[in-house]
Amino acid sequence: MPQVRLAQFEDAEQIANIHIQTWKATYRDLIDEQDLSNITLENRIALWETILKSPVNGQIAYVIENEYNDVVGFVSGGKERTKNYSYDGEIYAIYLLKDYQRIGYGRLLLKTFAAAMYEEGCRSLLVWVLTRNPSAQFYKNLGAKQVEAEEVTIGQGTYEETAFGWEDMNDLLEKL
């Protein structure tokens, strides 16, 4: 039975590993290899240690563990970062190892995160996804509406990213 819990500093290396594995698998056909190869384990461990030690912008992170207590995914987010949109909260990252996708782990992870954000006073939620990422369907299936599209730089490349959002967090929570 999967378990979701708040991420701890000690989870940084596992989160970094999942981040790299899933990022490269998800984006290998969407992003140039040169831009994919710029992400390193050392870089991601340092990033996640910093996030978990000193969160900013109301950021929270959860991990999901499988029945063997192995961390197999994570979600992180906080307040909407740009202040350009009328959304309170934002999912900054959500990743699951391939073997744990499409079996309810993502929904459970998102439900826990959304409920926690709601408790913190967020009443709406935004998430940015590379436009060509097939995982965008996950958010659409949960009632997210397209909000905006813009270009983002990753490594040396420029890619289109689309924002999806729930204007009322209750709509998302009811679907989860």
Taking only the tens place, the pLDDT of each residue in 32-69 is 887 777 788 999 999 999 999 998 888 999 999 999 99
Which residues form the domain of 86? 3-175
Inform me whether the pLDDT recorded for 109 exceeds 80.
Answer: yes
Separation between Cα atoms, residue 135 and residue 19, nearest integer Å: 15
Structure tokens at 53: 């030690």
Q: Look over the chain and give the mean of its residue pLDDT values, rounded to a whole number.
A: 93
Q: Give the pLDDT of residue 26.
A: 84
Taking only the tens place, the pLDDT of each residue in 79-100 is 999 888 899 999 999 999 999 9
Taking only the tens place, the pLDDT of each residue in 23-34 is 888 888 888 887
Residues above pLDDT 70, as percent of the chain: 100
Q: Give the pLDDT of residue 39.
A: 82
Domain count, the chain: 1
Separation between Cα atoms, residue 4 and residue 124, nearest integer Å: 22
Inform me whether the pLDDT recorded for 156 exceeds 90.
Answer: no
Confidence band of 153 (pLDDT split at 50, 70, 90): confident
Any idea what the CATH number is for the domain that residue 169 is in? 3.40.630.30
The per-residue DSSP string of 62-130 comes to EEEE-TTS-EEEEEEEEE-SSS-SS-SEEEEEEEE-GGGTTTTHHHHHHHHHHHHHHHTT---EEEEEE
Separation between Cα atoms, residue 59 and residue 130, nearest integer Å: 21
> Looking at 36-40, 90-94, 145-149, 159-163, which range is the least confident one?
36-40
Which has more pLDDT, 143 or 40?
143
Residues above pLDDT 90, as percent of the chain: 78
Separation between Cα atoms, residue 169 and residue 113, nearest integer Å: 11
Q: Identify any residues that bridge with 143 across adjacent strands, giving them in sequence order.
A: none
Confidence band of 160 (pLDDT split at 50, 70, 90): very high
